Amino acid sequence: MGYSKDQLLARLKELQIEFSQYEHPVVLTVEAQAKYVGNMGGVLSKNLFLKDKKHRYYVVSALADTKVDLKVLSQRLGLGKGGLRMAPEEALGEILQVPLGCVTPFAVVNESARHVSLLLDQGFKSQKCCIFHPLSNDMSIFLNAQGLDKFLKSVGRNPSYIDLEANPPVGKDQPPDLAAFVPSDSPVLSDLPEKAPPSQDSTGKSIGAATNSAAVTAKAVKPSGNAQNVKEKPVDSVRPSIPAADAGKFVEELLDRASALLLSEISEDSIKQHGGQLGDEVANNIKKCLREDLKNLATIFKNTAYTEGFYAGTRYQPKRL
Amino acid sequence: MEKTEDKNQQQEEEQVVNPWEVSAKDGGKIDYDKLIDKFGCQRLDQSFVDRVQRLTSRPPHVFLRRGVFFAHRDFNDILDAYERGDKFYLYTGRGPSSEALHLGHLIPFMFTKYLQDAFKVPLVIQLTDDEKCMWKNLSVEESQRLARENAKDIIACGFDISKTFIFSDFDYVGGAFYKNMVKVAKCVTYNKVVGIFGFTGEDHIGKVSFPPVQAVPSFPSSFPHLFSGKDDLRCLIPCAIDQDPYFRMTRDVAPRIGYHKPALIESLFFPALQGENGKMSASDPNSAIYVTDSAKDIKYKVNKHAFTGGQDSIEKHRQYGANLEVDIPIKYLNFFLEDDVELEHIKKEYGAGRMLTGEVKKRLAEVLTELVERHRRARAAVTEEMVDAFMAVRPLPNMFD
């Protein structure tokens, strides 16, 4: 399922990335790794797999000597003071698909790591040769930052390097400088043993999920009270009451609103007031009150349907002639 | 007193209105008549509103009826051409400097949506992430991220995806767009741009070379995937009046490079909760109503922070009535209460002292909550895929339907 070491090495060769490799017994720590490859001219890396309170994951890859302070990093990401923890062991297997002791930036080649944010130490850029595990702890590979970049770009990642030791102030007037590194559409893998389907992820599964869960969830959205929620992806339970591209749901919503308004218009008083003309009166009122609302609902429906079609179109495989 | 300063320098006594600063004279109100005079644009009078109603066969938008969009350049040309059967396209934009949008930010988009629906014309929306990267010193990634987040709120205003193209400068600048930028840039001297925008020798060259980026979406040839072969298509730009300098420059250049001058339709500034003299600022969440505010937040903000024209005591209020000139709830209702009859009634009763401030505030909170709720529901339906689709460089075959 996950990429194997051999597949990775083959890929590196395909991309014509310069690297060398060295096999050694399985190592679980940087110290152990140093015993085998520490004197070969490259610089060792230390790699942390972290998780925040909202179940978003991060790989921090740094020079072994760089001091990484999780509290500072957490603040710089905008997660508050204690927002970052080491990710649990299960996550290593589930998300990065590497064994224990083998966290490496190369793990982002896996689809399951799609939403893992990658933070790279700018210290790598000035080194001739950096050492990483190629998805397995029984080997180390040596390459420079350009090689790493080339690989990352080939899997659709935009490598950016940061000063991991910096400690800029974070406050009202100084927004967290690494906020851009917080994944904005992470799948909902809250409790790993129970795999919830991703709520929104760019492989398009969200489109199926949207139409299904619209049927599952009940009425109105719980109003989110603060600006933070705008950035978070809604968890499954917070689905809009407006159905997404589901014609049946859409029509139900329209009929619900129309009948609610109709019922409110017909009362003893209004019957007395309008008598036989009540029908006309109510019809006009309904049109007047609902016109804009229903048009808005229809536009949302149209946009959603178009998006589904567009998405399918971009992944369409033309007929073979 | 003799005017010794150079005409280009901003004198303390005058109001300042440009894309990066808006302040009134002596901390008072913005004088819109003076502004129209100074900028050289035209008042949008009732005859225009009536004409729009006739041409579109629907009631004119509340912002037109209430004079929120109050000034224009060449809007009559647009309407003349439209009557002859020559359509136009809309161009508006946002500088994504912050994630949180407040109601003032939504106003040009609400009006543009109405224009799109009423006239059945396509729309391009520019997200100037490069501008914010330069002026607000954001990182490239952060400004791009904010652009995408803001795009979601913009989409939530209800634009039709089959007629709307949203683009960010970092993504789209290049090709035909860039060719037009160079054509425009060649026509504007350094001195001129300093005169219009007030740049100094200390400003970096990014700022100085930015104006063409905001100018060229006014030209259909900047969007070959949309308007190829339609070089004659006119452009209408709904915006707040502080953006006028960009488009004065554009209108000056357009005929020299063989394009129509873009037309403009301009709005007033949306006042801060604390009053016309207050400043709406991103760091003071109580100065504005945000699209993420809950009903409770809105009620709190309106009750505690809205500047009112009511009198100090009920007796005084019943005697003298409210000062509608400075009353923020009335001003906000002017923007957002659809029903003309109800608004007139409130103004009359409140002005005479028969209605109390509390009642007006209550009604305002209701209106705003409904608006924000509707926006939030629409926003929740916007997926990443939808943003991708709106921002994809694709043809819009039904854009005039």
Residues A213-235: what's their mean pLDDT?
A: 36
Q: What confidence tens digit (pLDDT) does each residue in A272-312 have?
A: 888 888 888 888 888 888 888 899 899 999 999 999 999 98
Could you read off the pLDDT of B224-234 as tens digits, one per residue? 999 999 999 99
Given this model, what pLDDT does residue A282 score? Answer: 86
Predicted confidence at residue A3, as pLDDT, reads 81
- A235 has a pLDDT exceeding 80: no
Which range, of A257-271, B151-165, B379-393, averages the lowest pLDDT? A257-271
Chain B nearest-CA distance from A13, in A, is 30
Higher pLDDT, A215 or A271: A271
User: Would you state the pLDDT for residue A1?
Assistant: 59
Q: What percent of chain B has pLDDT over 70?
A: 95
Q: Give me the mean pLDDT over the B369-398 stretch.
A: 94
CA distances from B362 to A167, B212, B323, B330 (A): 47, 46, 18, 12
More confident residue, B186 or A173: B186
pLDDT at res. A206:
37
Residue B341, chain A, CB below 8 Å: the answer is: no
Min Cα separation A76/chain B (Å): 13
Averaged pLDDT score across all residues of chain B: 91
Whether residue B299 is predicted with pLDDT greater than 50 in this model: the reply is yes
- Specify which of A105-109, B98-102, B213-217, B305-309 reaches the highest per-range mean pLDDT: B213-217
| pLDDT digits 0-9 by tens, A46-87 | 999 998 888 889 999 999 888 888 888 888 888 887 888 888
Q: How far A230 CA lies from chain B's nearest CA (Å)?
A: 7
Considering only CB atoms, which chain B residues are within 8 Å of A221?
Answer: 376-377, 380
Bridge partners of A173, per DSSP, are none
- Give A217's pLDDT tier (boundaries 50, 70, 90): very low
B377/A242 CB distance under 8 A: yes
* Amino acid letter, residue B260: H
Q: Which of A121-130, B135-144, B338-347 has the lowest mean pLDDT?
A: A121-130
What average pLDDT is seen over chain A? 77
Q: What is the pLDDT of residue A153?
A: 83
Whether A310 and B295 lie within 8 Å, measured CB to CB: no
Name which of A108, A186, A190, A192 is nearest A151 in CA terms: A108
What integer is the mean pLDDT of B85-101?
A: 93
Any CB–CB contact under 8 A between B394 and chain A? yes
Per CB-CB distance under 8 Å, the chain B contacts of A239 are 380
pLDDT band at A162, cuts 50/70/90? Answer: confident
pLDDT confidence of residue A210? 37
Q: What is d(CA A123, CA B393) in angstroms, rounded to the nearest whole number?
A: 38
Across the interface, do A234 and B380 touch by the CB < 8 Å criterion?
A: yes
Contact across the interface for B292 and A200, Cβ inside 8 Å: no
Stretch A7-30: mean pLDDT: 87
Optimal mutation site among A299, A306, A316, interface B, most CBs of chain B within 10 A: A299
Rounded Cα distance between B369 and B293, Å, is 9
Identify all chain B residues contacting A172, using CB atoms and an 8 Å cutoff: 283
Residues ≥6 apart with Cβ < 8 Å to B360? B308, B322, B327, B329, B330, B333, B346, B350
Handedness of CA A284, A286, A289, A293 (dihedral sign): negative
Q: What is the pLDDT of residue A172?
A: 66
Q: Which residues of A touch B (CB under 8 A)?
A: 160, 172-173, 177, 179-180, 184-185, 200, 202, 204, 206-207, 210, 221, 223-227, 229-231, 234, 238-242, 244, 293, 295-296, 299-300, 302-304, 306-308, 310-311, 314
Candidates A231, A291, A307: best to mutate against B (most CBs of B within 10 A) is A307
What pLDDT is recorded for position A186? 47
Burial B384-399 (b: 16+ CB within 10 A, else e): bbbbbbbbeeeebeeb
Q: pLDDT tens digit string along B44-92?
A: 999 999 999 999 999 999 999 999 999 999 999 999 999 999 999 999 9
Q: Which residue of B has its CA nearest to A225?
A: B294
Q: What is the pLDDT of residue A231?
A: 38
